[in-house]
Structure 1
């Protein structure tokens, strides 16, 4: 297999995978349940809906609600039906469905082009299609086809996939605590008892590693995507280092949240891929990962370069590189080459325990 990390996921399978749905947004009346709640409080779940909701959840696809309804009554009915726990940030009001979906995308921190919307009313689907043409709109009558759709069938169902909803729910608790915390950012982070682990990727990490390259855009320095097979070759290669990182705190695990791929020569290490899950954007772990790699390069006696490919959403990664002391030294097409002279490697912050293994 070609081990050139400049390949940007050119396999058709990976291109298709990048278009997968990350969140399904449901209407309620005549969609999740038969009937209209405000007219009949005895509404019942549609026959196939529970299986669809559970299967999507098992696949790691998040779910939410966009419904024109009385919020208290609708939430009470969802709880009565035993399905309230499946829905993140439900938007139940008399506003437009498109605004509800925008709010959900913002709260979950995903692009609307990874959202599918299910509604029984053609008018509501057309309103969303007009305002958010990137959202996939599905008629409620086609619900029985959802589980067969390619864009809702991931290549792998990883442990992180199966835990995704619960991890997002835990993130919500963290955010609420942070909003009510009166100290500094660093003081709040110190209360979390974070443990950040960095270790060489093993075979068991590769499915999640592929998933991260496909799902992560904002905190991805190059946007490169790699298949399981490519990552496995890098893992075995003497010319590459492939690290995986994970994070946990007092609330539980964030799962495997980062990858770094370095191409090694006798004189230069080149950081080809650095990415972190967007769920850890505010935890400062991108800088910790960079400092770890800087230390490793310094111990090897090599220069450290990094590639950066700017896109519309990953400016934060460029800022992370600059804060870590990287400077622009060249350009190869749209690839910006950065270099760190390794003279100002920072210690890991006190608010997180960092564990590294070989």
Structure 2
């Protein structure tokens, strides 16, 4: 393996095809069969919520037709076949899936291809094709939480792939496309049945994340039962299907303030404008309860967009940056207007 990426769990394994996924080269007239271990590896990682994508050299239609003929097409949420640098294709896969490069792994039989990807994308972990059967045993392919939603993650991303294709085909105004989706976000208090997914979100979500706090299921169970805390989950759906649980907020209540200790949104919906809608709802609820909306923010290398989202919602810094490295403290002024909706997303609030 090359280009190690610390302890980050892999979210997507990008496969080369010829002599990696199957034994032979499609364009050379072969009818290559998948290596015996491949179906097991695909299924095992998929059940853990790890996505599969393909980047390979060759003709796109020929390769995808062979994937389908082998009964493997359904496992892949993104496929890019062509003749350019594989690093560019891997980068495009990450952008399409809206995940960080440090959560992407790449497997290829050709050491030159692995070296090219590793050099251009040092955050991507690269593996020899001969190690494929042992990947499920590696710690980076064993996420701490495996929920029912994690096991269905492939279907969510395949649906997202169709959304992106529809957007490319539609062209024109982006707001018009968003309005055409029929987006509906439901916000409700978390229940004990939501604990595994809520905890998983705190582990997996890094970009739209206010403080980076990680909560175990037991910790969340205690917060749900606490009269001084509110834990909410946000779900999203549109005309293509259900995104599932995509947002989480943890609020601490004091006599004066409603302090947002953690607010996060899945990177899958970063472009849907729902982060601001959730914040607006939390601000309105805090005011309705007679409390000042306050949030903490801990800057990281990847969550700058979260700070932008907070500022657009009306949060402004009220305390100087702490010298001890603690969180920034921001609050919404009492005279700041809070819109009811974003215009293209309908909100269903179950805790109103």
Fold-level similarity (TM above 0.5): yes
Give the match for residue 53 of structure 1: 42
Deviation >6 Å, runs of 4+ = none
Quote the offset at 1:168 in angstroms.
Answer: 1.3
Contact 1:17 1:214 in 2 (8 A): no
Q: What do residues 319-338 of structure 1 show as CA deviations (whole Å, max 9, x unaligned)?
A: 22222221111133352111
Quote the offset at 1:88 in angstroms.
Answer: 2.8
The aligned runs of 1:119-268 (5 Å cut-off) are 119-181=108-170, 184-268=173-257
Q: Tell me the distance in 2 between the aligned counterparts of 1:130 and 1:48.
A: 29
Residue 188 of structure 1 aligns to a residue whose secondary structure is: helix
Give the match for residue 33 of structure 2: 44
Contact 2:232 2:248 in 1 (8 A): yes
Give the match for residue 353 of structure 1: 346
Contact 2:315 2:332 in 1 (8 A): yes
Over 3 Å counting, the alpha-carbon distance change for 1:298 and 1:353 in structure 2 is: same
Q: What do residues 194-236 of structure 1 show as CA deviations (whole Å, max 9, x unaligned)?
A: 2211111111111111111122122112222222222222112
Give the match for residue 11 of structure 1: none
Which residue of 67, 70, 85 corresponds with 1:78? 67
Residue 161 of structure 2 aligns to a residue whose secondary structure is: helix
Residue 28 of structure 2 aligns to a residue whose secondary structure is: coil
Q: Tell me the distance in 1 between the aligned counterparts of 2:329 and 2:90.
A: 38
Over 3 Å counting, the alpha-carbon distance change for 1:352 and 1:66 in structure 2 is: closer
Contact 1:62 1:164 in 2 (8 A): yes
Which residue of 112, 127, 131 corresponds with 2:101? 112
Q: Tell me the distance in 1 between the aligned counterparts of 2:87 and 2:171.
A: 35
CA RMSD of aligned residues (A): 2.0
Which residue of 308, 313, 316 corresponds with 1:319? 308
Quote the offset at 1:145 in angstroms.
Answer: 1.0
Quote the offset at 1:137 in angstroms.
Answer: 1.7
Residue 209 of structure 2 aligns to a residue whose secondary structure is: coil
Quote the offset at 1:115 in angstroms.
Answer: 1.4
Contact 2:208 2:270 in 1 (8 A): yes
Give the match for residue 67 of structure 1: 56
Quote the offset at 1:46 in angstroms.
Answer: 0.7
Quote the offset at 1:294 in angstroms.
Answer: 1.0
How many residues are matched?
Answer: 343
Residues 200-209 or 226-235, more deviating: 226-235
Give the match for residue 13 of structure 1: none
Over 3 Å counting, the alpha-carbon distance change for 1:196 and 1:229 in structure 2 is: same
Question: How does the TM-score come out when normalised to structure 2?
Answer: 0.91
Over 3 Å counting, the alpha-carbon distance change for 1:189 and 1:125 in structure 2 is: closer
Q: What do residues 44-74 of structure 1 show as CA deviations (whole Å, max 9, x unaligned)?
A: 1111111111221222111111212232221
Q: Tell me the distance in 2 between the aligned counterparts of 1:153 and 1:269.
A: 36
Contact 1:17 1:155 in 2 (8 A): no
Question: How does the TM-score come out when normalised to structure 1?
Answer: 0.90
Contact 1:294 1:342 in 2 (8 A): no
Residues 132-141 or 58-67, more deviating: 132-141
Q: Tell me the distance in 2 between the aligned counterparts of 1:133 and 1:71.
A: 27
Q: Tell me the distance in 2 between the aligned counterparts of 1:74 and 1:86.
A: 14
Over 3 Å counting, the alpha-carbon distance change for 1:349 and 1:143 in structure 2 is: closer
Quote the offset at 1:186 in angstroms.
Answer: 4.0
Contact 1:24 1:115 in 2 (8 A): yes
Contact 1:287 1:320 in 2 (8 A): yes
The aligned runs of 1:92-107 (5 Å cut-off) are 92-107=81-96
Q: Tell me the distance in 2 between the aligned counterparts of 1:189 and 1:137.
A: 36
Contact 2:7 2:140 in 1 (8 A): no
Residue 141 of structure 1 aligns to a residue whose secondary structure is: helix
